[in-house]
């Protein structure tokens, strides 16, 4: 029976020591900490080993033990570097400190040895470390399962001629992965197809060698690809998400101060009137796109709350960009701009009626769990895949196509989302999807049951 044996699990889990290793970026740290909280509530003792980069404040997580390891990065070394090179460097730089830390933890706790490592899928170097130390490794894939499937099929899609993406073929449907078009396949800027292939292969192959994979989604959201996922990853798969819903919230305030001011401002706005605009924690945009965004927002005349992170504009070296002259006057009383927002609180605020997002997986799930329709402008990685799911599979939003933004297109899209009948229909589907997500994580729901199975799997290792 669903939920059966929960209390027993709490007892069983007690004393069993798990080590969790997040990739040190906000979109990966948040779901790993959410999983850590859930596993702690099941009675496990949890140690998080975290590189110095973006390390959370341990005092925010009194239930978790933290070990911070050196990562060998200085600030100039990580700016301007291509994403795949940066992620590869995290793997290489952390390997020796990680081995040393794990050996130290093992030696310090002979009566409570580490029973299992749970690591981000992108930390592929941890598979060899786990094997060398005789520790089972479970993978957490924090981004969308559909994009993970595309990673796994990348070489096949390359052999079929879909890749590299060529402009004149970018609209072609990828029949192996509906509803994706060639241009929706995952990838990073300024990186060739072979570098992508090698990087994705490392992640996928080391996941296949793990004892299980945990996915931050629900089998309901992913039901269209379940058979393919099981084919590509013939190990136990646990859909325990959306973690933002099933776990207690984590504070994502390490990159900047949370801004309470925006919640106070939202309190003064009419119900469902505000568009929340945020492009996540790492995505960048050109200065010209920032200006088009500003004028698109202003011309749409929709109230908005806009997160402009220092460093959002490419090459701005973490400074705060200048907004176009006249924008502040034109939007006076209608808009609020912050450097960072308590996003999950913002999205569930009754004044918020729409979410303009880059479609990072956490933002996408947080949008779904808040029941707000979305307008997506994906930039890279898994975001193109997620945006396609939002607009074509779940139909809870629309997508701004193309690499560059244009104020007229933005204005049209925003009006459609916030004021037209089409937007109303998306809002209704978003409401239903939210309810479904809630059903997955409550007692007896599929993700709730999967979490209990995961506990049993860990205890059986």
341 is a contact residue toward ligand UDX (CB under 6 A)? yes
Any idea what DSSP says for residue 319? P
In the complex, the smallest distance separating the C-beta of residue 149 from ligand UDX, rounded to whole angstroms, is: 14
340 is a contact residue toward ligand UDX (CB under 6 A)? yes
Interface mask (CB under 6 A) for ligand UDX, residues 22-41, using x and -? ---xxxx-x-----------
Give residues 162-191 in contact with ligand UDX (rule: CB under 6 A): none
Output 300 or 386, the one with its CB closest to ligand UDX.
386
Output 136 or 241, the one with its CB closest to ligand UDX.
241
217 is a contact residue toward ligand UDX (CB under 6 A)? no
Any idea what DSSP says for residue 210? S
Residue from the set 16, 127, 143, 207 that interacts with ligand UDX by CB under 6 A: 143
In the complex, the smallest distance separating the C-beta of residue 132 from ligand UDX, rounded to whole angstroms, is: 28
Any idea what DSSP says for residue 115? E
Q: Stretches 127-135, 176-184, 360-368, 369-377: which one binds ligand UDX (CB under 6 A)?
A: 360-368
383 is a contact residue toward ligand UDX (CB under 6 A)? yes
Output 25 or 377, the one with its CB closest to ligand UDX.
25
Output 366 or 411, the one with its CB closest to ligand UDX.
366
Q: What are the DSSP E strand ranges found in 122-205? A: 137-141
Are 84 and 201 in contact by the 8 Å Cβ rule? The answer is no
Q: For residues 53 and 270, what is the distance between their CA atoms, to the nearest angstrom?
A: 40
For residue 226, report the phi and psi dihedrals to the nearest 5 degrees. Answer: -55, -45
Nearest to ligand UDX by Cβ — which residue? 27
Give residues 300-319 in contact with ligand UDX (rule: CB under 6 A): 307
Token digits of residue 370: 């808040």
Give residues 244-303 in contact with ligand UDX (rule: CB under 6 A): 252, 278, 280-283
Residue from the set 363, 370, 399, 452 that interacts with ligand UDX by CB under 6 A: 363
For residue 375, report the phi and psi dihedrals to the nearest 5 degrees. Answer: -120, 125
| Helix, strand and coil in the chain, % to nearest 5 | 45, 15, 40
Output 162 or 340, the one with its CB closest to ligand UDX.
340
Q: Stretches 12-20, 290-298, 358-366, 412-420: which one binds ligand UDX (CB under 6 A)?
A: 358-366
Are 164 and 192 in contact by the 8 Å Cβ rule? The answer is yes
Residue 460 CB contacts under 8 Å (≥ 6 apart), including other chains? none
Q: For residues 218 and 436, what is the distance between their CA atoms, to the nearest angstrom?
A: 10
Token digits of residue 280: 């996540």
What are the C-alpha distances in Å from 238 to residues 162, 207, 369?
A: 30, 13, 19
In the complex, the smallest distance separating the C-beta of residue 305 from ligand UDX, rounded to whole angstroms, is: 10
Site for ligand UDX (CB under 6 A): how many residues?
Answer: 25
Give the count of alpha carbons within 13 A of 158, CB side only. 17
Q: For residues 244 and 57, what is the distance between their CA atoms, to the nearest angstrom?
A: 19
Binding footprint of ligand UDX on the chain (CB under 6 A): 25-28, 30, 143, 252, 278, 280-283, 307, 340-341, 343-344, 360-363, 366, 381-383
């Amino acid at each position: 029976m669903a939920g059966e044996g929960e209390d027993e699990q709490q007892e069983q889990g007690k004393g069993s020591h798990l080590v969790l290793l997040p990739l040190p970026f906000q979109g990966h740290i948040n779901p790993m900490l959410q999983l850590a909280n859930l596993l702690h509530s099941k009675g496990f003792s949890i140690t998080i080993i975290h590189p110095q980069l973006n390390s959370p404040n341990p005092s925010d997580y009194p239930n978790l033990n933290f070990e911070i390891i050196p990562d060998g990065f200085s600030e100039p070394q990580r700016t301007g570097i291509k994403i795949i090179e940066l992620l590869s460097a995290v793997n290489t730089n952390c390997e020796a400190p990680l081995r040393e830390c794990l050996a130290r933890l093992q030696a310090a706790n002979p009566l409570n040895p580490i029973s299992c490592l749970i690591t981000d899928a992108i930390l592929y170097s941890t598979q060899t470390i786990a094997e060398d130390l005789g520790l089972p490794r479970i993978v957490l894939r924090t981004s969308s399962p559909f994009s993970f499937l595309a990673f796994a099929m990348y070489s096949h899609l390359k052999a079929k001629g879909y890749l590299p993406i060529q402009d004149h073929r970018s609209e072609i449907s990828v029949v192996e992965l509906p509803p994706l078009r060639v241009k929706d396949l995952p990838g990073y800027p300024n990186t060739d197809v072979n570098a992508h292939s090698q990087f994705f292969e490392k992640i996928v192959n080391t996941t296949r060698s793990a004892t299980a994979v945990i996915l931050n989604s629900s089998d309901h959201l992913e039901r269209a690809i379940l058979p393919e996922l099981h084919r590509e990853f013939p190990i136990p798969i646990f859909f325990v998400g959306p973690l933002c819903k099933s776990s207690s919230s984590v504070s994502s305030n390490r990159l900047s101060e949370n801004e309470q001011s925006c919640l106070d401002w939202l309190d003064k706005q009419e119900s469902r009137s505000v568009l929340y605009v945020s492009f996540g924690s790492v995505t960048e945009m050109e200065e010209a796109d920032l200006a088009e965004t500003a004028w698109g927002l202003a011309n749409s005349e929709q109230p908005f709350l806009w997160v402009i992170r220092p460093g959002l504009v490419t090459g701005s070296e973490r400074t705060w960009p200048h907004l176009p002259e006249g924008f502040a006057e034109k939007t006076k009383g209608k808009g609020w701009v912050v450097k960072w927002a308590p996003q999950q609180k913002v999205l569930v605020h009754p004044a918020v009626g729409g979410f303009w997002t880059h479609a990072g997986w956490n933002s996408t799930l947080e949008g779904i769990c808040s029941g707000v329709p979305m307008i997506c402008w994906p930039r890279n990685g898994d975001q193109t895949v997620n945006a396609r799911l939002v607009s074509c599979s779940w139909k809870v939003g629309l997508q701004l196509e193309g690499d560059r933004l244009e104020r007229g297109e933005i204005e049209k899209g925003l009006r459609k989302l916030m004021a037209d009948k089409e937007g109303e229909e998306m809002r209704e589907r978003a409401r239903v999807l939210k309810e479904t997500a809630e059903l997955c994580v409550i007692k007896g729901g599929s993700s709730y049951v999967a979490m209990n199975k995961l506990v049993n799997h860990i205890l059986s290792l």
